[in-house]
């Protein structure tokens, strides 16, 4: 689906595919060190090949992931991923773990909110009632997103500087 963002840029939001492996690798590599820390809660320089493969192998029910991509105007360049959102359903549960990351130069224009709403809609269809995720306390963007979407933030027990985000799907 094509979406126009708050700054008039257009992106296509679609489910991730196994063929997105190289684009996903490039996307994570292009994120700033600070953004990777906020997404993975540690300062990693690159994702392992098995994890990248796992991220592209979804089943559309218990593991759902969407990417946002841009296209060059000439149409002869490969697409570029600028955001990724996913949930993985907890076994025998009506809740799912949720994660989101938006490229550094694509923030604060509605992309994260749009992706989260699409993911929540898909979750509802699959019978997931709640999307949950751990957020570093200093992640102001995710705290703002949680507030904008009416999500609850609570302090996790024993998680130090981590908050638990809980969003009704």
DSSP strand pairing (95-102 vs 10-15): unpaired
Q: CB of 78 within 8 A of CB of 88?
A: no
| Alpha carbon distance 145, 80 (integer Å) | 23
- Mean pLDDT, the chain, whole residue set: 92
Backbone φ and ψ for 162, nearest 5 degrees, come out as: -115, 140
Q: What percent of the chain is predicted at pLDDT more than 90? A: 84
Q: Scanning the structure block, which residue is given the tokens 């592209």?
A: 56
The verdict on residue 163 lying in a domain is: no
**pLDDT tens-digit map of 14-65:** 999 999 999 999 999 999 999 999 999 998 989 999 999 999 999 998 999 9
The verdict on residue 65 lying in a domain is: yes
The verdict on residue 157 lying in a domain is: no
pLDDT for the residue numbered 115: 97
The verdict on residue 167 lying in a domain is: no
Q: How many domains does the chain have?
A: 1
The verdict on residue 138 lying in a domain is: no
Backbone φ and ψ for 36, nearest 5 degrees, come out as: -60, -40
CATH number at residue 68: 3.40.630.30
The verdict on residue 73 lying in a domain is: yes
If you average pLDDT over residues 88-106, what whole number do you get?
A: 94
pLDDT for the residue numbered 118: 97
Whole-model pTM: value is: 0.92
Sign of CA dihedral 29, 151, 153, 139: positive
Domain that holds residue 98: 2-128
**pLDDT tens-digit map of 133-146:** 999 999 999 999 99
């Amino acid at each position: 689906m094509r979406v126009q963002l708050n700054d008039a840029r257009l992106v296509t939001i679609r489910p991730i595919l196994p063929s997105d492996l190289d684009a996903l690798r490039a996307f994570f590599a292009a994120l700033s060190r600070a953004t990777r820390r906020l997404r993975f809660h540690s300062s990693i320089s690159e994702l392992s090949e098995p994890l990248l493969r796992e991220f592209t192998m979804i089943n559309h029910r218990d593991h759902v992931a969407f990417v946002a991509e841009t296209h060059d105007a000439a149409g002869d360049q490969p697409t570029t991923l600028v955001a990724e959102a996913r949930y993985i359903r907890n076994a025998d549960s009506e809740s799912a773990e949720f994660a989101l990351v938006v490229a550094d130069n694509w923030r604060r224009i509605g992309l994260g909110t749009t992706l989260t709403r699409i993911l929540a809609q898909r979750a509802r269809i699959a019978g997931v009632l709640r999307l949950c995720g751990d957020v570093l306390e200093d992640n102001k963007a995710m705290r703002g997103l949680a507030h904008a979407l009416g999500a609850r933030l609570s302090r996790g027990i024993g998680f130090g500087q981590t908050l638990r985000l809980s969003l009704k799907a």
